[in-house]
A = this chain, B = another copy of it.
Amino acid sequence: MDQKITIDDVAKRAGVSKGLVSLALNDRPGVSAEAKQRILRVADELGWHPDPAARGLSTRRAYALGLIVRRSPHVIEVDPFFAAFMAGAEAVLAEHGQVLVLSVVADVDAELQAYRRLSAERRVDGFFVTDLLENDHRIDALGDIGKPAVVLGRPDNTHGMPVISRDYSAGISQLVAHLVDLGHRRIAHVTGNVAMQHARIRLDRFLAECDARGMEPIVAEADFSPEQGAVATQALLDGRNPPTAIIYGNDPMAIAGMAVAHERGLSLPADLSIAGMDGSDIGGWVYPTLTTLDNDPAGWGRAAAETLVRLIEDGAAPDVTLPDAELIRRASTAAPAQPGERRTPRGGGDTQQHATTDTKET
């Protein structure tokens, strides 16, 4: 149980020196094929693993990568992104003998502190930077800190850090087009926290899409929390000329918005079409099932981890562009009711499409 096996044991048993074992392990040149094979076999027999502390002491590496999640307690529980992102990232790290070190903080100050701590204590070799802000302080701070980092966002202003990005704009175009095709002309957008770049990009694209169609955009700012999603929805529906469709910056807000509509006795989607983003599994299991844009958080995680590992090992890594977001059409969007038909009692009507029968636009 207590691993007392060291590189010396392996060296002795294989009849070579420690140095050679080390070279063989890190498959470096200068080891004969047969020696290498023998060494690796012996290591395996003995169940030997190099001690990362000892390695790190020589190489000044931690063999660990850091993810700092900044979320308010009320958003984190409901966040459809991080758990899956971590799963994707961690799977890749494990293949590379690395480990994921996680920190969860409530605000930007605590986040900067966490970067500094993990870095000063030499706990990690690099960072994943998520939820990029517009003019993000962290980019500069990480520059000072001097640790490699990959950024999830748009390839701007990242001071040469590799960027993982996905074109969400294309999905928003599809979504708006989908609603317009159904006959909507008064479409609203409930934003996420627009201090975040991805929320801002979504808003900008929404505005552009409205503009291109000569529609007056309706916008309510929120922050990705269901609570704010509900508040924004109330405000929109209380407006003098309420929208016939609402696009939310994420699925939890959309679900909260649906609840508000239901509570007012509106029939969905006849009286109001609703769409989310960052498509989460739960969206396929609410009533009506939620039209949304997919996001594949595990894919983000894998790409980010591969890039960060490569950045650390090779000193550089190319940006990665993930496939465009795709529209997932479900039952929460439909043609708007004619003015006279509003507030119809519910029941009957369309059968709803379940998640297992999602229609993905390609």
Contact = CB atoms under 8 A, between A and B. Distances in A.
Interface stretch (A128-136, A162-170, A306-314, A342-350): A342-350
A350 B307 CA distance: 53
Interface string A279-301: 01110111111000000011000
**How many protomers of this protein does the assembly include?**
2
Given A53-B62, A102-B86, A297 B77 contact: yes
B122 A103 contact: no
A34 interface: no
A348 B265 contact: yes
A146 B1 contact: yes
A99 B118 contact: yes
Contacts of A343: 347
Nearest to A118: B99
Interface in A315-360: 343, 345-348, 351-352, 354-356
27 contacts: A3-B122, A49-B120, A53-B57, A54-B57, A57-B57, A76-B84, A77-B84, A77-B280, A78-B80, A83-B83, A90-B104, A94-B103, A94-B117, A226-B281, A227-B355, A229-B285, A252-B282, A255-B282, A255-B285, A255-B286, A258-B286, A259-B288, A259-B289, A263-B352, A265-B346, A345-B346, A345-B347
